[in-house]
Chain A
Amino acid sequence: MDFVYQGKCWKFGDNLAVDADLTKKEFASSRETRLEVLREFVMCGVDPDFHKKAKPHDIVVAGRRFAQGNPHIQGLLGLKSLDLGFVCETIPRGSYRNAINAGVPFMTKCWGVPDQCETGDDLRVDFAKGTFENLTRGTRVRYEPIPNVLLEKIAIGGWEKTVALRIATMRAQGLMKPTKAVAASA
């Protein structure tokens, strides 16, 4: 996976709620995980037309407590459905995990990043190296990227693909029983 995203900046403020701002709250209760359903509601709590305007590899920039609230994954899967990355000052741990689970490249603890850009600026972010470039302003800042072991999970494509690999490996090593169907046919 290429961890360099070049696209438009979409800047939001602090305390965006994972359920009610990043997506439609009802999706958490209904446990909706289909990307084709979620994509029409990305950031709908703050901008109902966002999904029509954002393009793949655009970058969401936020301040503190991005994706706060009960750690439901739907809001993060929504970002994945539009192939967006995000950069923020802080993110609660449950949403940190869910960004990895959803396979969304991101950086956090990027203090002051909202001052580095405005909506509409052209950005280039390398999520593996931790560089944040504002091509419109001609500025470049370095942040600490997330650990490699977690970037690998994003590169594999998120939780489902990572777990499928883990299950295959455990079965090959005899650490997990085969499914009943496989056992019956053997």
Chain B
Amino acid sequence: MSFLENLYKEIILEHYKRPRNHGNLESATVQQEGINPSCGDELTIFLEVADGVVTDIRFAGEGCAISQASASMMTEAVKGKGLEEALELSREFKAMIHGEEPSADLGDLKFLQGISKLHARVKCATLAWITLEQALEQVDHFPSG
């Protein structure tokens, strides 16, 4: 497999070209903007939260294939999860991007593992997740205790 085929697996390009949960969310409980300091990626995460569960999630914005695919996959993985679960998923994703073996929870997100070898693209892959974490912080009474 060529370098590009290995990195940009079909599923990643699929999420890039046809992103899931893309657009605004009128009923959002919280929204959070994120910008990639490596420049050229911006997104906003919208969360609708009820009883400690992410009942709906959207992302808006523009950016590279990696940042957009990661955001799209993130919304699919997080929708319907509890707040603590969502945070844990983010930790697991970042761990994978920083070189660890992907946990089983990550599912299709494991196809982004190749980014762990490309330091310049780490911030692209983690942008949506870091923004998600900042959005979660905004939710009242979370983290609890």
Q: Please say whether chains A and B are actual partners in one complex.
A: no
> Which residues of A does B touch, CB under 8 Å?
none
> Which residues of B does A touch, CB under 8 Å?
none
